[in-house]
Structure 1
Amino acid sequence: MYPTLRVRVSRIEQLAAGIKSFTLQPCDGGALPAFDSGSHIVVHMDQGRMRNAYSLTSALDDRSRYQISVRLEEASRGGSRFMHEQLRENDELDIGAPANLFGLGDGAGKHVLVAGGIGITPFMTHIQALARQQASFELHYCFRNRDSAAYLDELPSTLAPDQLHLYESDTGGKLDIDALVASQPAGAHIYVCGPQALNDAVVAAARAAGWAAGRVHFEQFRNEVDATGGAFEVALRKSGVTLQVGADEPLLRAIEKAGVKIDCMCREGICGTCETAIIEGEADHRDQYLSDAEKAAQKTMMVCVSRCKGKRLVLDL
Structure 2
Amino acid sequence: MSTGTPLTLRVTERLDDRGAIARIRLEPVQGTLVPFTAGAHLDLHLVENTLDLWRQYSLCSDPAETGFYEIGVLKDPVSRGGSEAVHRLAVVGAELSVEGPRNHFPLAEDAAQSVLIGGGIGITPMIAMAKRLHALGRDFVLHYCTRSESVTAFLDTLRAAPFADRVVFHFDDGAADQKLDLARDLPAPAADTHLYVCGPQGFMDWVLGAAETAGHASGQVHREYFSADVDLTGEGFEVEARASGITVKVGPKDTIAKALMAAGVKLEVKCEEGVCGTCVTDVLEGEIDHRDQFLTDDEREDGDLICACCSRAKGARLVLDI
Q: TM-score, normalised by structure 1?
A: 0.81
Q: What does residue range 130-145 of structure 1 map to in structure 2 within 5 Å?
A: 130-145=133-148
Paired residues in the alignment total 316
Q: Residue 290 of structure 1: CA displacement?
A: 5.4
Aligned match of 1:37? 38
1:262 offset after TM fit, Å?
Answer: 4.8
* SS of corresponding position for 1:83: helix
Aligned equivalent of 1:10: 12
Q: Select between 139-148 and 85-94 the one with higher mean Cα deviation.
A: 85-94
Residues 85-94 or 212-221, more deviating: 85-94
- Report if the CA contact (8 A) 1:79-1:224 is conserved: no
Answer yes or no: is the 8 Å Cα contact 2:269–2:279 preserved in 1.
Answer: yes
More off after superposition, 39-48 vs 127-136: 39-48
Q: 1:118·1:149 contact (CA, 8 Å) conserved in 2?
A: no
Structure 1 residue 291, shift from structure 2 partner: 7.8
Say if 2:62 and 2:132, in contact at 8 Å, map to a contact too: no
Q: What's the CA shift for 1:9?
A: 2.0
Separation of aligned partners in 2, 1:197 and 1:301: 23
Does 2:203 correspond to 1:198? Answer: yes
Which ranges of structure 1 fall in alignment gaps of 5 or more residues? none
| C-alpha contact (below 8 Å) 2:134/2:163 kept by paired residues | no
Preserved contact between residue 8 and residue 97 of structure 2 (Cα < 8 Å): yes
Residue type at the aligned position of 2:104: L
Q: Is the 8 A contact 1:140 1:167 kept in 2?
A: yes
- Does the CA contact (< 8 Å) of 1:109 and 1:136 recur in 2? yes
Distance in 2 separating the partners of 1:268 and 1:301: 13
Between stretches 262-271 and 227-236, larger displacement belongs to: 227-236
Equivalent residue for 2:127? Answer: 124
Q: Distance in 1 between matches of 2:260 and 2:73?
A: 27
Structure 2 residue runs without a partner (length 5+): none
Question: How far did residue 226 of structure 1 move?
Answer: 8.1
- Is residue 105–residue 222 contact of structure 2 (8 Å, CA) maintained in 1? yes
Please report how far the alpha carbon of residue 175 of structure 1 lies from its aligned counterpart in structure 2 after TM superposition.
0.7
Q: Please point out which of 281, 303, 309 is paired with 1:304.
A: 309
1:159-200 deviation digits (Å, cap 9, x = unpaired) = 555412111002245211122224677732221111223322
- Once the 2 structures are TM-superposed, how far is the Cα of residue 97 of structure 1 from its aligned partner? 1.6
Structure 2 CA distance, aligned partners of 1:165 and 1:126?
A: 15
TM-score after normalising by structure 2: 0.80
- List per-residue Cα deviations over 1:98-144 (Å, max 9, x = no partner): 11112212531111111111010001111111111111111111100
RMSD: 3.9
Q: Give % identity.
A: 39
Asked if the contact 1:37/1:60 (under 8 Å) is kept, the reply is yes
Distance in 1, matches of 2:130 and 2:158, equals 10
Q: Aligned partner of 1:207: which letter?
A: E
Amino acid at match of 2:106: G
